Amino acid sequence: MLLAEVSVHLLSLQLRAPFTTSFGTYHTLSRPFVVLRTADGATGVGEIPTLIDPAYKAECDTPAVVTSLREFVVPSLDRFQAEQGPIATIEALRASYAWIKGEVFAKSGVEAALWDLIAQRAGAPLWRLWGGERTTFPVGVSIGGKTVEQVLALAGQAVDQGYRRLKIKIWPGFDRAVIEAVRRRYPDILLQADANSAYDRASWQALKALDDFNLLLIEQPLYDDDIVFHAEIARQLQTPICLDESIHSLRDTEAAVHLWRRQGALDRLIINIKPPRVSGFAEAIAIANYCHEAGVRTWIGGMLDSAWGKAFNLNLNSLAAIDLPGDHFSPGGAYFEEDVVTAPLVAHDGTFTLGDGISTGVTLDWDRFHRLGEKLFTIRLDR
C-alpha cells in the first residue's frame, strides 16, 4: 500500500450550543482533517480534534497542527517511503515520525487516516481490527455550562434522552454549588467533574467539598503538564483523580501508576484515554491494556469531535479493557449545526451499539466535507 498523497483540510464546525469550560466558551471550532490517498486510489480520513487556541493544550489547530503536519510529519512519511519502501502498517507509520517530539495531535490524524485505509482494505469494522469484544455499552455526555441553571437544563436534556452518566465542567468558584445542585436532582446518576487544570496548589482545597457528593472522579484539577502534584492531592481526597491533559503516552500512564501505587491508592487513579491526545489508537490501546492489567480504570474521552472522530472513539470503546462510559454524545442532540457524516450517530437510552459497517461504520458526506471548509495543502509522496 503505497501512500501517494496527503492533503490537509481545515473545516469550520458550528456548535449547536456554546460549550463552556474553565478555559473558555466555544461557539465555532476549526478542525484539521488529514486525507491520505494511496497509489491505487483509496482514501483514508483522520480528524484532528484540537481547539482553536492553546487553552486546553499547547497544540492547537493553527498554526501548531497545520505547521507540524506540513513541515515535519508529512515530510517524514515521504522520506521513509523513499528510503524504506511503502508505509503499509501502523508500525511503519509510527516509525517514520518517531523522531518528532510531541506533536501528538498532528500524528494522530495521520494514524487515524491509515487505520481507515487498513480497515477498508480488510473490509472490517475498526472495532474488530482492534480486538473489541463488546458492541453494546453505556455512553455519557459532557456538560459545559456557564451557570447552575444552564448546567441543570443541559443535564435535564441528557437525562430525558436516557443518559445515566454526566460529566460537569467546574472551575474555582463554580464547583460545590453546581455539583450539589446536579446531585440533588439526580441522586443515582453516575456523576463526575472536569476542571481542565483550573486549580493550583492552594485553590485545590475547595475540591474537598466535592467528596460529599459521591462523584465517580474529578478530572484534571491541576496543571495540564503535571502528574506529581496530582498524585499528592489524590492522597488527600476521597474522590478518585482522573488524568486527562497530563497523559500523552503509555509512559506518562506508567509514571502515574507508579506514583499512585507507591501510595497504595491505585483505586483512586482513573485515566481518560483520548486517542488523539496520545498520538493515536495504537498508543490508546496499549494504555487501555496496561491500565487493565494494573487495575486502573479507564474511559474514552472526547474533544468535541465531529461524528467522524466520535465514530473512531466509539469503535475503541468496544475493548473489554475499557471500564467506564465515555464522552461520546452531546447532551441536547447533535453537537454541530452540520456534521461531516451522512447519518448522525445515535445512542438509545444512554447506550450505543456498534454495527458491522466497514472501518468507522459511518459514511463521510464529501459534499458537506468540502462545503464546511477548504483544502490547505497537498503533499505528494510518490516522487
The residue range among 60-68, 240-248, 254-262, 341-349 that interacts with Mg ion, by the rule CB under 5 A, is 240-248
Give residue number: closest CB to ligand OSB. Answer: 302
Taking CB under 6 A as the criterion, which residues in 142-171 touch ligand OSB? 142
Q: Which is nearer to Mg ion, 47 or 219 (CB)?
A: 219
Nearer to ligand OSB, 56 or 171 (CB): 56
Nearer of residues 125 and 221 to Mg ion, judged by Cβ? 221
Select from 78, 103, 244, 339 the one that contacts Mg ion (CB under 5 A). Answer: 244
3-state secondary structure the chain: CCEEEEEEEEEEEEEEEEEEECCEEEEEEEEEEEEEEECCCCEEEEECCCCCCCCCCCCCHHHHHHHHHHHHHHHHHHHHHHHHCCCCCHHHHHHHCCCCCCCHHHHHHHHHHHHHHHHHHHCCEHHHHCCCCCCEEECEEEECCCCHHHHHHHHHHHHHCCCCEEEEECECCECHHHHHHHHHHCCCCEEEEECCCCCCCCHHHHHHHHHHHCCCCEECCCCCCCCHHHHHHHCCCCCCEEECCCCCCHHHHHHHHHHHHHCCCHHHEEEEECHHHHCCHHHHHHHHHHHHHHCCEEEECCCCCCHHHHHHHHHHCCCCCCCCCCEEEECCECCECCCCECCCCCCECCEEECCCCCECCCCECHHHHHHCEEEEEEEECCC
Site for ligand OSB in 124-143 (CB under 6 A): 142
Residue with cell 454524545: 329
- Determine which residue in the list 103, 175, 244, 365 makes contact with ligand OSB, applying CB under 6 A: 244
Show the site string, 303-322: x = touches ligand OSB by CB under 6 A, - = not. xxx-----------------
- Does position 103 interact with ligand OSB (CB under 6 A)? The reply is no
Choices 62-70, 150-158, 296-304, 338-346 (CB under 6 A): range interacting with ligand OSB: 296-304
| 31 to 60: interface string for ligand OSB, x by CB under 6 A | -------------------------x----
Site for ligand OSB contains 196 (CB under 6 A)? yes
Q: Which of the residues are catalytic? A: 169, 274
Residue 272 or 318 with smaller CB distance to ligand OSB: 272
Q: How far is the CB of 225 from ligand OSB (least distance, A)?
A: 15
Minimum separation from the CB atom of position 220 to Mg ion (A)? 5
Query: Is residue 305 a contact point for Mg ion (CB under 5 A)?
Result: no
Q: Name the residues that contact ligand OSB, by CB under 6 A.
A: 56, 142, 194, 196, 244, 301-305, 327
Q: Name the residues that contact Mg ion, by CB under 5 A.
A: 194, 219, 244
